[in-house]
Structure 1
Amino acid sequence: MTDEDGDSDDFETRAIHAGWEPDPQTGAIMPPIYATSTFAQDAPGEDRGYEYSRTGNPTRMALEENLASLEGGEHGRAFASGMAAINTVLNLLSAGDHVVVGRDVYGGTHRLFTDVYEDYDLEFSFVDATDPDAVAAAITEETELVWAETPTNPLLEIVDIERVAVVAHDGDALLAVDNTFATPYLQQPLEFGADIVAHSLTKYLGGHSDIVGGALITDDAELDERLGFYQNSVGATPDPFACFLVLRGTKTLPVRMDRHSENARELAEWLDEHSAVETVHYPGLESHPGHEVAAAQMDDFGGMLSVEFDAPLEAVRRFVSETDIFTLAESLGGVESLIEHPATMTHGAVPAEERRKTGITDGLVRLSVGLEAVGDLRTDLADTLEKTIEI
């Protein structure tokens, strides 16, 4: 369905068309890669909408408009990495401010908060964000931001965005939600009251493991202006080619996420019955403690899952090292399947004691389930389990 301006309500159509129309001069279907650092001005201070590529670039603007549309937001900002995007949110804060953080977050996020910004007199409290009461109890008069991931990395916990948004706003704090695992195709946090949505474009939105990027989306024009100020001032912006590649990725996001979710769900159900597996962390399983909340705020459950083994560390390390189709690598969200060991890889920067409190054990393995034939993926895991865990 389209409105009077020809804009569609349907995600699949917006994924392909939002942010760009065929070039009126050449008819180019895809946005050109504007590989220029600067733009000619008609007179001093009189430009044609662009003056310098750090400040704004047509390829980047097409991506930012596309991302905003997909998240159901009004404003989008693209960055050189997901961490650059998260850093920009923290630029909104001042010395003495307090942030409530979900305890299960990406290791790089934890490192940025504790090893960088605590030195600038910001205070962080890590809590169980799946419990809105725990979030509320952590909020103080100095709290300016609540930061949450859902599903979380790597335990696939589910945060009730709507309830946590109420808690944050009651405390006069912003709520920022990292939506990387779900993508806007499966979940749109702004709809449930979030103020800022963050993405690592490196993951599902890019979708092909060939770029690094980040994004922030908001409905608040004043907040977007502040984010834009720091985007330009700090300069951690993506190059035009990276923006072009992400735009290529968003066009196929719906069909890719359908397959990611289908494959992950089948593997999760199989692994949940496997004798070598202690626990499967996947919100699509009815046994998952966050299943009902996930079913209410997500359209499907995504392509990420984690598996817990009650096995020696050396056996777990062999398991993640000896798969054939699953590649041992950090990152996620590409068309290929990846496997990793959070305690020694993506979350190695988190102190061991904090990992244990969060539930990130030495027996935890994270899977990014790709688009390969699911039977091949299952055989790969089964054969490797037999050689390594089932000794």
Structure 2
Amino acid sequence: MSQEIDVALVNVTKKFGDLVAVDNVSFEVPKGSFFSILGPSGSGKTTLLRMIAGFEVPTSGDIYIGGQRVNDVPPNKRPCNMVFQRLALFPMMNVLDNVTFGLRRRGGMSKDEMERLAKDALARVGLQGLEKRKINQLSGGQQQRVALARSLVLEPTVLLLDEPLGSLDLKLRQSMKLELKHLQARTGTTFLYITHDQTIALAMSDTVAVINHGKIEQIAPPEELYRRPATHFVASFVGENNKLTDGRVIGFQQDDVVQVDIAGIPMVGRAGEELSVGDPVDLFIRPEMISLRLGKHENGILGKVSEINFDGSHSLVVVDLLDANRPVSVNVKIQHTEDAPDVHVGDTVTISWHWNAANAFHPVDQSHIEVEV
């Protein structure tokens, strides 16, 4: 096992009776990286984290932390710590005592040394000077940082984070995800984060593994995951997308540039998997990657604006395709810039996109997806 890998799973499966919660999963987490496991409820991500922490035992396969196989190592002996969504801070203790709790349990260290290490950890998370505060005197974000300091003071090889931002309100969650990323970069500790919130995973992670029904669908940097999804599920689950269904492949411009007929209208996109002429496909197009021009133009698709939804920095414009042989609508995201088109409901417009802004996949049953986008 490479010294540059802090966590590795090799063909790990976990069964609960007849239920396969994790199905032959393998991946590696590089040292000092921020690695996220992203998936909907019931996808197996929490079971994965619990196996890494030692709270569940794999049915088969091997787990390595710091190059050592840990399948038979109990949780308290593994070089990792976990931060939960419910922070499990002790309300009867002050901040300093909460942070030194793990050091006291470990033993072999003087009180002065424990307090020095705890104060260093609190300084790293920006809580210096609050050592004597009670937990109920802290804000939600400060409590979150106390929980992080309590884990980091033990100098784990890897910090496991079980959706710790999930209980925070939207504003605080937005600021804390940036703080968490900066903290990881400053400390150099390997973070392994599980979440169903794709905005958090994409914003913070060096690498994201998307899991569905216990199987890894794709492992990639956030931008690659967003722009070049490897499966129909990833295209559906990650980010906002127009999903144009009931299409058919009518040709290829290059090996991976596919021409698709959607409701009688020829469209172009990237072949997300191996496709052949005549294959049924769904075409996924990001709303922000579609250009919109007022009026009728060549080299585009004619439509009529049926709805405009204002959303702060941008508007989501719903365009009904005029030449379609059945009702088809496309969402277009327009940023509120000085050169943005002045669009109104009822306007005739032309939309277009570069071929690599769209991704074509064979249709699959999506009824199991709990988070539709």
TM bracket (short chain) = under 0.3
Determine which structure has more spread, i.e. the larger CA radius of gyration.
2
Higher helix share goes to which structure? 1
**Richer in strand (by share):** 2
TM-score, normalising length: structure 2: 0.25
